[in-house]
Chain A
Amino acid sequence: MTAPARKTTPPSDDRRYTTISDMEIEPVYGPEALAGKSYEADIGNPGEYPFTRGAYPTMYRGKTWTMRQFAGFGTPEDTNRRFHFLLERGQMGLSTAFDMPTLMGYDADHERSFGEVGREGVSVSSLSDMETLFAGIKLDQVTTSMTINCSASVLLAMYFALAEKQGVPLDRVGGTIQNDMFKEFIAQNEWISPPTPSIRVVVDMIEYCAKHAPRWHPVSISGYHIREAGSSAVQELAFTLADGIGYVQASIDRGLDVDSFAPRLSFFFNVHNDFLEEIAKFRAARRMWAKIMRERFGAKDPRSWLLRTHAQTAGASLTAQQPLNNIARVAIQALAGVLGGTNSLHTNSMDETLALPSEPAVLAALRTQQIIAEETGVINTADPLGGSYAIEALTDRIEADAFAYIKQIDEMGGMIAAIEKGFPQLEIAEASYRFQKQLDSGEKIMVGVNGYMVDEEEQSMELLRISNDVERIQIEKVRARKAARSVDRAETCLAAVRDAAKGGANLMPVIIEAVKAEVTVGEISDVFREVFGEYRDPAWL
């Protein structure tokens, strides 16, 4: 039997050895990688500045990473059942995926929501939907991550209002809301209003949480989507940290003391296939953020220097072809995340290129993390690859290249200016196109896609299907809520949101009052559209 040939094989003598991000790699790294470095100043023990080796001294002995699988589809009842399924099987925290209408600030019954309700996440239009979503879950017993951005202020207000209903004080509510608008304009592309007012709302939330919800992470500064959009590892890191710089500067400009909010900033990175590059990226990320916070912003509290991060395996690395192979990819990526010292992890399911994940696929993904934690032994010692010539050399190289990008963005006048020029967007599009060309030429191989293909694949996996009833049910619910509420109270609350939006007062208190009056995601987002204007895709190519 002969192995299937590659589509094309470049001659071996001029083969380039590069990472998946096209970074050239030496045939061997040696002691020169460590030459002239001070262990204490440049690397440091785990838990010590500059945190290259990890956020905490004992790393996973002290606390295993949080296993947090992103979940959401259909009605709030559907997702509530998935939440209970995951919690009963050893998951440690919840992570909520909302549907596109919710993410874009439209109610289920809006014409723009047609065909999209409950499809890519759970549909939430009002506080009652939020109550159903968390039925049977006490909000001081779990930490919850919510992936939502331009309408994040409304969903966070709902979560806080629900805590109040459950009798849980805000200072005992823990979790994270993504709320990273910079990366929306750069890569993820969910927005309501232009960058400047969008960042103002983010800072309102940072300020509100610093004062009232000290266990809440008001922003999860995210490279994940930047990478999924096709960036290199260096671009992912550089643009993410530049976004972080943007939030810190905007919050300082608001008058906040850096140490009053910086310890609650968290991060979210991708973990892709290129094993050594990814490990080095996480190490470089911690060291760069520590330097940025201490040296650039003068933060005094060591917790402000610390980059704590969630990680998710790379959706874009998975293949629709021979989907069982995705289990191997996810396991390797997850291991890279752990060896890079991530604090929290989502492992993708093997069927995600085909549909939202089914229960057996989600379970295999969660079990992958449990196998790494329980069976591989990598949790026994912190940063086991620290001091490796190759890993230290790559960590330095990624840091230097990422700082060069940050310098360019600073010179443009910061991230809002860079976004308005299309700079990060075009850099990513370029990298993404280059990778596609490398796939087309066979310089890079994706197993099952342009090499090692099999003929006539039968798609045999049982996929999750979202019923068309979901849309009808959710439309009926939101209409019923609007009909049942006090119109006067809803209108008064909306007027208060409008006044705060126009006048510049912090929006969070008035949005919380509004959601308690069953004012909806769409209605509050409409106020943003009216007061701040609507952002349109500049369609950079």
Chain B
Amino acid sequence: MTERPIRILIAKPGLDGHDRGAKIIARALRDGGFEVIYTGLHQTPEMIAEAAVQEDVDAIGLSILSGAHMTLFPAVMGLLEQKGLKGVALFGGGIIPDEDADELKSKGVNQIFTPGASTEDIVTWARNNIRRN
């Protein structure tokens, strides 16, 4: 029996349209053997959490380049908890200053990737850190 592939939701919260990174990561993870669902742009935290439930994902990757990461990550995290999705890994990337990344990680975000991270780094991290729920 083959195990189902690990499912990752790549989500783009906020109002900005910067989807270059999200699309590259989605494709790289797919090429790396993951099943990837991409939400498209302009998602609210509620839409993302709902998609996570509907698609039964093992991890969520948030791409944020708007500067709103300190409000959006906690909002998504809170909703995942409410919906009983505590086992879903949460990672993200974007223009996120180091001190903000540290704070987010201390609050429970599993990993933050900043500009310059290679797709290999991200795929490797996903292989080592995301487990089937």
Which residues in window 128-174 of A have CB below 8 A to B? Answer: none
A432 and B67 contact, CB distance less than 8 A: no
A188 at the interface (CB under 8 A from B): yes
Q: Is the interface of B mostly helix, strand, loop or mixed?
A: loop
A274 at the interface (CB under 8 A from B): no
B6 at the interface (CB under 8 A from A): no
B118 at the interface (CB under 8 A from A): yes
Q: How far is A536 from B47 in the complex, measured between Cα atoms in Å? A: 13
Q: Select which of A104, A436, A466 is within 8 A of B67 by beta carbon.
A: A466
B44: chain A residues at CB < 8 Å are: 112
B14: chain A residues at CB < 8 Å are: 100, 115-116
A537 and B42 contact, CB distance less than 8 A: yes
Q: Select which of B16, B28, B70, B118 is within 8 A of A120 by beta carbon.
A: B16
Q: Select which of A320, A433, A466 is within 8 A of B115 by beta carbon.
A: A320
CB-based nearest B residue for A453: B116
B97 and A429 contact, CB distance less than 8 A: no
B41 at the interface (CB under 8 A from A): yes
Q: Select which of A320, A354, A536, A541 is within 8 A of B27 by beta carbon.
A: A541
B95: chain A residues at CB < 8 Å are: 320, 353-355
CB-based nearest B residue for A316: B20
A466: chain B residues at CB < 8 Å are: 67
A190 at the interface (CB under 8 A from B): yes
B133 at the interface (CB under 8 A from A): no
B66: chain A residues at CB < 8 Å are: 100, 116, 119-120
Q: Select which of B38, B72, B114 is within 8 A of A539 by beta carbon.
A: B38
A120: chain B residues at CB < 8 Å are: 16, 66-67
Closest Cβ–Cβ distance, residue B68 to chain A (whole Å) = 4
B70: chain A residues at CB < 8 Å are: 115
Closest Cβ–Cβ distance, residue A306 to chain B (whole Å) = 30
A189 and B41 contact, CB distance less than 8 A: yes
Q: Select which of B24, B68, B116 is within 8 A of A115 by beta carbon.
A: B68
Interface residues in B, total, Cβ within 8 A: 35
CB-based nearest B residue for A442: B118
B115 and A319 contact, CB distance less than 8 A: yes
A116: chain B residues at CB < 8 Å are: 14-16, 66-68
A190 and B68 contact, CB distance less than 8 A: no
B119 and A436 contact, CB distance less than 8 A: yes
Which residues in window 25-40 of B have CB below 8 A to A? Answer: 26-28, 30, 36, 38-40
B15 and A440 contact, CB distance less than 8 A: no
Closest Cβ–Cβ distance, residue B92 to chain A (whole Å) = 15
B19: chain A residues at CB < 8 Å are: 189, 229, 537
B15 and A319 contact, CB distance less than 8 A: no
A223 at the interface (CB under 8 A from B): no
Q: How far is A116 from B75 in the complex, measured between Cα atoms in Å? A: 14
A48 at the interface (CB under 8 A from B): no
Q: How far is A439 from B21 in the complex, measured between Cα atoms in Å? A: 14
A112: chain B residues at CB < 8 Å are: 15, 44
A101 at the interface (CB under 8 A from B): yes
- For A112, A115, A440, A448, the residue with the greatest tally of chain B CB atoms inside 10 Å of its CB is A115
Binary flags per residue of B65-85, CB closer than 8 Å to A gives 1, else 0 = 011101110000000000000
B120 at the interface (CB under 8 A from A): yes
A538 at the interface (CB under 8 A from B): yes
Q: How far is A436 from B31 in the complex, measured between Cα atoms in Å? A: 13
Which residues in window 104-127 of B have CB below 8 A to A? Answer: 114-116, 118-120
CB-based nearest B residue for A459: B98
B24: chain A residues at CB < 8 Å are: 230, 432-433, 436
Which residues in window 171-192 of A have CB below 8 A to B? Answer: 184, 187-190
Query: What would be 16 A-B contacts, judged by CB atoms less than 8 Å apart?
Result: A116-B15, A116-B66, A119-B67, A120-B16, A189-B18, A190-B15, A228-B20, A230-B20, A321-B116, A353-B95, A355-B95, A432-B20, A436-B28, A463-B97, A537-B19, A541-B38
Q: Which residues on A are within 8 Å of B, measured CB to CB?
A: 100-101, 103-104, 106, 112-116, 119-120, 184, 187-190, 228-230, 316, 319-321, 353-356, 429, 432-433, 436-437, 439-440, 446, 448-450, 459, 463, 466, 536-539, 541
> Which 5 A/B pairs are nearest by Cβ-Cβ distance?
A189-B17, A539-B40, A537-B40, A115-B71, A100-B15
